[in-house]
Chains A and B, each alone.
Chain A
Amino acid sequence: GQSLEQPSEVTAVEGAIVQINCTYQTSGFYGLSWYQQHDGGAPTFLSYNALDGLEETGRFSSFLSRSDSYGYLLLQELQMKDSASYFCAVRIQPGGYQKVTFGTGTKLQVIP
């Protein structure tokens, strides 16, 4: 089977840095994505890592280690609006087609 594990909740202070980890077990791995979802809304794309290393997009960075089946999302200069749920998602092709499955999600609360 496959699994993606994330911490369920994280609390951080406005202006700080927070790291959300994701470990996965799957076959046919293509890449790891991160999505943000505010309550009641649709997920929005943050980043995608197909290769090992760090990808930086503004205040957000994402890291992947394929050998460790591990990745993380790094949020810098936290703002109150960053309070949301964050999901890692793996793009896999276990058989003849590709699909994207999501992790358990991490609820981030940013406090003043």
Chain B
Amino acid sequence: GAVVSQHPSWVICKSGTSVKIECRSLDFQATTMFWYRQFPKQSLMLMATSNEGSKATYEQGVEKDKFLINHASLTLSTLTVTSAHPEDSSFYICSARREGPMNTGELFFGEGSRLTVL
């Protein structure tokens, strides 16, 4: 099946620093990737839809200047948490959908990145 790789799996940083998370589709091209955030024992909250070659579409309430998304190629999307603060500590997870006739409606998820801001 399709594979999505996310890196890093764990990151601990100091308050005020920026953290970049990468999401790669390894065996298919993804014009669209989705970034989610999940707090413990809660659901996945869609933060933004990453579109290759164009600006990301952010969900209501998500600060686009805080969570910078870049989708520079058909296999790579990055999420940068800028000036991170303890309240940004969370599990961030990306996903991608196979386009075209191979599309089964399935989202392929990365392994997730657990961010802890001290």
Contacts and interface: CB of A to CB of B under 8 A. Distances in A.
Interface of A: 31, 33, 35, 41-45, 48, 50, 87, 89, 91, 97-105, 107
Given A42-B93, A42-B112, A100 B107 contact: yes
**Which 9 residue pairs are nearest across A and B when measured between Cβ atoms?**
A48-B105, A42-B109, A45-B106, A102-B44, A105-B43, A102-B43, A42-B112, A43-B109, A99-B49
A103 B32 CA distance: 21
A107 B42 CA distance: 10
Given A42-B93, A97-B49, A91 B105 contact: yes
Interface residues of B, number: 24
Given A101-B46, A102-B44, A105-B42, A45 B107 contact: yes
Contacts of B93: 42-43
Contacts of A104: 43
Nearest to B40: A39
Main secondary structure of the interface of B (DSSP, over half): strand
Which one of B34, B104, B107 has the highest number of Cβ atoms from chain A below 10 Å of its Cβ? B107
Interface of B: 32, 34, 36, 41-46, 49, 51, 57, 93, 95, 97, 104-112
18 contacts: A33-B107, A41-B112, A43-B93, A43-B95, A43-B109, A45-B108, A48-B104, A48-B105, A48-B106, A89-B107, A91-B105, A97-B49, A98-B32, A100-B46, A100-B97, A102-B43, A105-B42, A107-B41
Contacts of A91: 105
A83 to B, nearest CB: 14
A35 B110 CA distance: 14
Given A97-B32, A101-B46, 8 more contacts: A33-B107, A43-B93, A43-B107, A91-B105, A97-B51, A99-B34, A102-B43, A105-B43
Given A102-B43, A102-B44, A97 B109 contact: no
